[in-house]
Amino acid sequence: MRKVTIQDVAQYANVSRSTVSRVLNNNSSVDAELAARVMVAVRTLDYHPNRAARRLRKQTEDVVGLLISDIRNPFFGSVIRGIEDEAYKQHVNLVLCNTDEASSKIQNYLQVMQAERVSGLIVVPTHDDNHDILREVQADGIPIVLIDRSLTYESFDRVKVDNINGAFHAVNHLLEHKYRRIGIIYPEVETGYERLQGYQKALRSNGVEYDSSLVEVCGYTIDSSHEATKRLMAQESPPDALFTANNLLTLGAMRALRMSNIRIPQDIALIGFDDMPWATELYTPLTVVSQPTYELGKQAFVTLYQRIKNPKMAYQSIFLTTSLIIRESCGCLPS
């Protein structure tokens, strides 16, 4: 079963290859009758243009690279779905790359994406040292939109969530309910820092002093948060409330608390970042800062697509807002 090429279609329709190409890319005008003949040929022969050839010729086409840290984090599942639904509409494909927050993998994937001549990139940047590589790729003519985290740098399109405010409202809520020793567990990434800032801001605006013994930096895993929580609770005067900076860390904290028989919210209040389908079914239904994950992905793709179509467009920064969903873990609702 030989592959059908544009040549076959041309022959069948009795036109030149260029004409076939023209009707398929409907840019320049083609005689209606010829066009019709071509379409018939395309259909009867079930012709699908070879994308590799097209890409080689056009130097780019219809593939977007996606660099995220780890697909197993359910946060990304939803984001990607938002991206994909939009991408599907425009017939663009997504190449998935897990970077594990590792510079070496990012670098490697970036090179590959460049070699692929992808038409754009959606990336969750990790460390500041990615900046230069990212700029290089961008300078090479590949549009990039930064998602979730955006570095401190300008001159990239960015779609992100207002982490500072999200964290601020969460911690403020705790403060309003008279919790005073509020612990925080956050990872060393930009979103983590921002959530810490929101935490600090809430403290300040309530006249509560910042106590570094309540602050725990941790990794990206449940286990690492489990350990951090244990450290926090083992102190002389442990926190009376806890704010965890993402869904995985929340799970780790709950595990640690459960194992130490510390009850939520009776012994400690808890608010987590990220809403998830299981948040309502946890042993204490979780109060959360909910992020518009799907929307995040959707906006990222829309922005990228705009830039692809119009490379000279001014850089955009889209901020999405979070919402505080109050359930039982923060202790202000009767359980």
State the residues that interact with DNA by CB under 7 A. 3, 5-7, 14-22, 24-25, 27-31, 33-35, 47, 49-50, 53-54, 56-59
Shorter beta-carbon distance to DNA: residue 142 or 184: 142
Shorter beta-carbon distance to a second copy: residue 196 or 270: 270
* CA distances (Å), origin 31, targets 28, 52, 162: 10, 28, 53
Q: Please tell me whether residue 84 binds a second copy under the rule CB under 8 A.
A: yes
Pick one of DNA, a second copy, none as the site partner of residue 81 (Cβ within 5 to 8 A by kind): a second copy
Question: Other CB atoms closer than 10 Å to residue 323's CB: what's the count?
Answer: 12
In contact, 160 and 295? CB cutoff 8 Å: no
Q: Please tell me whether residue 43 binds a second copy under the rule CB under 8 A.
A: no
Residue 233: which of 242, 224, 243, 222 has the closest Cα? Answer: 242
Q: Please tell me whether residue 122 binds a second copy under the rule CB under 8 A.
A: no
* Look-up of token digits 């987590």: 272
Span interacting with a second copy, options 67-75, 149-157, 163-171, 227-235, rule CB under 8 A: 67-75
* CA distances (Å), origin 97, targets 5, 21, 34, 94, 175: 31, 33, 43, 10, 40
Virtual CA dihedral for 189, 190, 195, 201, nearest 10 degrees? 130
Shorter beta-carbon distance to DNA: residue 62 or 223: 62
In contact, 79 and 296? CB cutoff 8 Å: yes
Pick one of a second copy, DNA, none as the site partner of residue 138 (Cβ within 5 to 8 A by kind): none
Tokens found for residue 64: 């977007």
CB of 306 to DNA, least distance (A): 20
CB of 59 to DNA, least distance (A): 7
Q: Cα-atom radius of gyration of the chain, to the nearest Å?
A: 25
Q: Please tell me whether residue 266 binds a second copy under the rule CB under 8 A.
A: no
What kind and span of H or E run contains 289?
A: strand 287-290
Pick one of a second copy, DNA, none as the site partner of residue 17 (Cβ within 5 to 8 A by kind): DNA
Residue from 11, 114, 206, 260 binding a second copy (CB under 8 A): 114
Tokens found for residue 216: 């725990």
Tokens found for residue 12: 């069948």
What kind and span of H or E run contains 96?
A: strand 93-98
Residue from 17, 55, 135, 201 binding a second copy (CB under 8 A): 55
Q: Please tell me whether residue 289 binds a second copy under the rule CB under 8 A.
A: no
Pick one of a second copy, DNA, none as the site partner of residue 309 (Cβ within 5 to 8 A by kind): none
Residue from 280, 317, 321, 335 binding a second copy (CB under 8 A): 280
CB of 63 to DNA, least distance (A): 14
Q: Please tell me whether residue 219 binds a second copy under the rule CB under 8 A.
A: no
Residues in Cβ contact with 133 at an 8 Å cutoff, skipping those fewer than 6 apart: 106, 107, 110
Residue 35: which of 7, 9, 5, 4 has the closest Cα? Answer: 9
Q: Please tell me whether residue 333 binds a second copy under the rule CB under 8 A.
A: no
Residue 217: which of 209, 208, 207, 227 has the closest Cα? Answer: 227
Q: Give residues in contact with a second copy (CB under 8 A).
A: 1, 3, 48-53, 55-56, 63, 66, 70-74, 76-78, 80-81, 84-85, 88, 91, 93-98, 105, 111-112, 114-117, 139-140, 222, 248, 251, 254-255, 258, 276-278, 280-284
